[in-house]
Amino acid sequence: MRRVLRWTAVAALGLVASAFLFLAFVPAFGKPSENELHDSLAREAGGYLVRCCMPDFCFEVAPRELECSVSEEGGGGADYRVRLRGERCWSARQLPRRTDGGLEERPSGCVTVGDQVGLSTLNPF
């Protein structure tokens, strides 16, 4: 009986770890939305997701370029110029700072499945 419980616990833990890795690292399916891109940017920049407070986080300024705002937990934030690289990946540079916060100045990354399902805050990387 102990052996069955032990293997059941190991299997459950393996399943949870596999699901986490899938959400955190598997690229997004299809073309990500601007909200999903914003979630990816906020995660990589070290920002805070404030989806409930603002209807639009990003707006297009040129073909394949957006300006996005990322908030910090303490209330500050920064604006970024985001350049799209392909369908899912991007690189960004911080525009002149609004605050002296701790957001990354030049984040880059790719939208993941976790961003698409709204679980981007689970990714610690």
Predicted local confidence at residue 120, as pLDDT: 54
Taking only the tens place, the pLDDT of each residue in 68-123 is: 888 887 777 888 999 999 888 999 999 886 656 688 899 999 888 777 776 654 43
Return d(Cα 65, Cα 46) in angstroms, integer.
Answer: 21
Return d(Cα 90, Cα 66) in angstroms, integer.
Answer: 10
Taking only the tens place, the pLDDT of each residue in 8-56 is: 877 777 776 666 655 555 666 677 788 888 888 888 888 876 554 445 6
Is the per-residue pLDDT at 58 higher than 90?
no
